[in-house]
Amino acid sequence: MKKILFLITLFPSILLADDFKMCQKIASDINDSAPMTINETTRLDNAMCISSLEKEEKVKLIYNYKILDGRVTKKDINARRPTEINKWCSKPDMTLMLNTYDIEYRHQYMSDKYIASINLTINDCK
């Protein structure tokens, strides 16, 4: 009985470890193509994963973007949020991924000065 209880308490950690490994694989695949020009003002530099020590929190897949035009502001970044929500919530394969991972689009100027992030979770699709 003690072994069963131990496995039950350990199981969420095992799932999280698998999610983290899979996230790292996704990030590695993205990084194989990076840096990648997205549009005239945005370049995807790399992707990475972070794992929370909290049982309830999911692994987060972070896309690190560089903004090539210094006139882009936090307001401009935040205005992109509805488009990103629509993209993630309207495509079944992306929604499935959002069920597993939280997503963050982190934006910085070329000088590495942070601008803003767009954070997405499955709750944004409801």
Element (H, E) at 14: helix 2-33
Q: To the nearest 10°, the Cα dihedral for 82, 126, 27, 41?
A: 0
> What is the rounded average pLDDT of the residues 39-62?
90
The domain made up of 2-125 is a member of CATH 3.40.50.11440: no
Determine the pLDDT at residue 55. Answer: 67
119 has pLDDT over 50: yes
The b-or-e profile of 63-77 (16+ CB within 10 A means b, else e) is bbbbbeeeebeeeeb
Residues 110 and 126: their CA atoms lie apart, in Å, by: 35
- Predicted TM-score (pTM) of this structure: 0.82
